[in-house]
Amino acid sequence: MQIIHTVQALREWRKTAGRVAFVPTMGNLHEGHLALVREAGKHADQVVVSIFVNRLQFGQGEDFSQYPRTLQQDADKLSKENVAVIFAPDEKELYPHVEQRYNVEPPNLQNELCGKFRPGHFRGVATVVSKLFNIVEPDTACFGKKDYQQLAIIKGLVEDLNFNIRIVPVDTGRASDGLALSSRNQYLNETERTEAPRLYRELTAIAEALRQGNLAYAELENAAIQNLTAAGWTVDYVEVRHAESLKVAHAGDKDLVVLAAARLGKTRLIDNVEVHLD
């Protein structure tokens, strides 16, 4: 396994690499990331994992400076996963002009759901992913379904900008109690970690109600918000959306997704559950 730090060196390696699958990350890797890497290995001859903490996707007051930089520990984990290359550029390498002068602007979906509470976040994601796609030139890229809105925006990006890349969605990794695996889980104290699976339980309760024929979306959403709030959460949103377009769900939609974001103490957690109705 190589660790490559420059665009030029990565492009030289890419010339003879064959079919490449790509997993973009910000490092501080956990089992959910490794599941993406294992899936990527099924689709190509070589796997590239990027590790780059992208300033553009952090909003004011968010944890950019505190985000853990754990390259050596990440490399130790990836060395056991048949990864060919870790691409770990520094900020100057990826953003040579300090400020990114040209940005990739997603459609209005970027201002809904998580985007409503994190303005500019998905512009930062779309911009850095476009840069990484141009550098790595993968045949396949794997993204987790936990970041469901991000996945939808990346799918649209690839389609609209004609990237010749197959996007492979990977199911959310979960702890034994249902909590979605996330780098941010490490910020939870012991009491919060015990409480955290409630978010998933509320979403699965909505999903089960939908399957039983209860399509009173607003009532289901509000009940979950009230339950979480009563348990000490600060809720950004709980919403039922169309699974593919992420438009507001309507009666007759068969493929749905229930999404939520909420803070437990200082930690913001997101999760979702897909629902397919007969």
The answer to whether 242 is a known catalytic residue is no
Q: Is 176 annotated as a binding residue?
A: no
The annotation status of 110 as a binding-site residue, yes or no, is no
Strand partners, 3: 86
Q: In 3D, which of 232, 237, 235, 240 has the Cα closest to residue 258? A: 240
The reply, when asked if residue 146 is annotated as ligand binding, is: yes
Q: Is 182 annotated as contributing to ligand binding?
A: yes
Distance CA 276, CA 269 (A): 24
| Residues comprising the chain, all counted | 278
Q: At a CB cut-off of 8 Å and minimum separation 6, what does 29 contact?
A: 70, 73, 74, 77, 78
Is 32 annotated as contributing to ligand binding? yes
Q: Is 156 annotated as a binding residue?
A: no
Q: Is 236 annotated in some ligand binding site? A: no
Active-site residue (options: 5, 33, 43, 250): 33
Q: In sequence order, what DSSP letters do the residues of 23-91 get, joined into one string?
A: EEE-S---HHHHHHHHHHTTS-SEEEEEE---GGG--TTSSTTTS---HHHHHHHHTTTT--EEE---H
Does residue 115 have a known ligand-binding role?
Answer: no
Q: Which residue has 């999903």 as its token pair?
A: 207
Q: Report the amino acid identity of residue 238.
A: V
Give the C-alpha separation, 39 to 130, whole Å: 21
Instruction: State yes or no: 26 annotated in a binding site.
Output: yes
On whether 147 is known to bind a ligand per the annotation, the reply is: yes
181 labeled part of a ligand binding site: yes
Annotated binding site: 26-33, 57, 144-147, 150, 173, 181-184
Binding-site positions for ATP read 26-33, 144-147, 173, 181-184
Which residues are part of a known binding site for beta-alanine? 57
Binding residues for (R)-pantoate: 57, 150
Which positions are annotated as active-site residues?
A: 33
